[in-house]
Structure 1
Amino acid sequence: MKLVLNNMTYHDCPVEVRERVAFAAEQRRYMLRKMHAELAVSEAVILETCNRLEFYAYAKKDFDCSGFFAELIGQVRPGAVDAWTKYSAETSGIDVVRHLFEVAAGLDSQMIGENQILSQVKSAYTGSLNCRMSKLVFHRLFHNAFRVGKAVRTETNINCGAVSIGLAAVELAKSKIDVPAITAMVVGAGENAELVARYLLKAGLPHLIMANRDTQKAQAVASRLKGAQVIGLADIAARLAEVDLLISSTAAAEPVVTYEGVKDNLASRDRALLIIDIAVPRDIEAAINQFECVSLYNIDDLNEQIHRTREKRSSEIPKARKIVEEFTDKFAGWMQSLDLVPVISRLTQKGLELAHSEAARYAKDFGEGNSEKLKAFAESLVKKVLHGPISFIKDGGGEELSTEQLQGVDLINKMFLSQDEHD
């Protein structure tokens, strides 16, 4: 069996490509169900954020995971296969473990040390569990990733300063416009949008409008913020005349603010409108930037704020990487403990040592001439007792063990062999 990662991230793939390979929750569930039906794939997790799409798998060594993932993407988004093939990369073995731990720690994020990625990793794991695609290996792998994320954030100052893309967007806005003297509109009502709204209010924003398709959800956010007005998406164009800043972060599959939808409102506008789109896929049609009054930025334009934060946190990165390496080494050791041949050898050796010890202990009770017979009897008894568990974990042969066999190996390690480490 092998650990495999196929992914595309912001490092090499621009937002206009990432948005073409973005999936709704139901599409991710569909792909996980397809993986569940593929016998060569034992476990799988799909991690998708605005900056990455990652397929983690525990599969048979000779299985073409890369081709399989491309096929799944083609079933869900046929037009995205070429982009995925061009920009995705494959990683295997312990490097997959290290990468996941770095992701959970915020070390691979656009905003180094951001907190939101850890909850996104947890959500991806939960989605896998719901589709029965996380078992022994991924249960341990992802729970270790959660521990890494927590350890890095509590034992280092990696998340000092700006801690999210939302805050980076607000920092960009503050560098371009006098936030305490304007009216702003936040489009969306999810976690990112609420964070943006909170950061704007903290920066002194006097007037806030929240727009969302589900106005009840937006109203719930507004009630927590106290003072925000709520409108539906259909009302955005009509309210633009009041707005100096618009920051958008929804999970919509298509743009929520289109050129055709706002052209009449912006064509004759005589004051500046700053728009920051941090959604992937993008919420704002790029053509809107044609209007002289509009300055449009997307998630890839936050580099200055991100660079400033990275400089603040650079001294903490080595400490965080040390934690990642410690957890990676421990996980590698656990994976090695699942190797079949050493486990059988150690179990047999331990059983024979016990047989010889007990035979020697009782030899005097059976007379001098019977010690070898007693030893042979003890060996035979131990072999018969061990025959069942050894046959179970050997059934199927080689390294392509089922999840049940891996669980058996892990249980044997815990019950019979782990105490050897403390002897």
Structure 2
Amino acid sequence: MIRKPLLAACVAGLLALTAACGSGDGGGKESGETALTYLVFETPSLDAKFWDDSITAASAQTPGVKINKIVAPSTDRDGYAKQLQQSGQFPDLLQSITPSNFVGAGLLKPYDKTWIDANFLLPSANSLKGEVYIPPTNSQIVPQVYYNKQLFQQAGIEKAPTTWAEFLDACAKLKAKNINPIELGGADPFAASMPLVGIVSADILGKNKNWLQDRYADKVKFADADMVTAVNKYRTLVTSGYFDKGALGVKYADSITRFTTGKSAMYPMGSWFLGSVPKDTADNFGSFPWPTDNGDVVVPFVGGGSMAISAKAKDTALAEKFGQAWSLNPANLKALIETDGAFPMIKGKTLKDYNVTVTKVFEDSYAYVGQDNNKVSAIGWATNDDALPAGLNDAFYAAAQALFTKDDVAGELKKLDEAWKTAAQ
């Protein structure tokens, strides 16, 4: 998820604009209805019409509710929600936030467990201490490695690599043909971290699924030898020239364009990239899991979801009914599947039930979700008990950017341990 800094000064103006554009005052009773505020975010794919239509549909199944939409000024819902909370305007419903950033302060109400268990394939995919604050409607793999089949053929690479040695060999063959091996949107911190997310998820969590819980218990550290060895793989890719030299100046949006137009052969990115695969050349793209030393498949998995409920909502029961109706609406999942590469996780449904049009690379990527493989929490992206402490995501991103130009792996990992100690206090 793209996270951008916000301008605090925008809050009051945006709230005023939202109230002016919406209907009602954002709270209390209106004509016998209970007005609830709903924080959403807009993207080119999830535009105003998508949110308005989805609100109308869920409202029709929730008698007595009136929804007043609040649009975040960027995709950083967490940051904006915190600003609203500080100003006494915490929304009643909050779309796609990170629950761990709010549960500690008692701001969120969990969903009914019976309903969660009855409706979702992985009910505990984003649970926190046994409670679910966002229905696990969909999932992502963060990252997969997407590749250009034509460029692989030009370099004489016959199949997608499964081991680290094969991956390095593929990179070397591509470079030898003057093809940039790996695309990196290094100007955006989250995108810059993708290779590191893949490496750490595969090499560390792939061998110890409980590594993050062990870190919370202070049993392991980022500065440990196995983590240093893993992160040095990233330095190997950098020093071998397998990224463009100017990668730190490439914006995330531009990295997508560069990859899809054949400027690079591989692209480690979250599965939301699947929504950006050009339909006319979709058959030219494939995907594979981040390679491990022995070729074992490790899938860095993230349980996604819909909306959280404020524990102080004007009517928490009504808010939950609205959240349930919204979460199970196939039309909402259809949009997320086709435009955001979301993998649906509602019980009893296949892709056909959503009436979606997806590419072959989507189907191949989605297959990893249903397979019996080693699924681990994608470091820095989990929304369950494996979520990093507040602030650690930014520290992890900063380390990834720093290690593009610095050789001090041990020093950067020590900084992460120091940041963890501060954040976990």
Q: What is the TM-score when the length of structure 1 is the normalising length?
A: 0.30
Q: What is the TM-score when the length of structure 2 is the normalising length?
A: 0.30
When Rg is computed on C-alpha atoms for both structures, the one with the higher figure is 1
Higher RCO, Cα 8 Å, sep 6+: 2
Structure richer in helix, relative to its length: 1
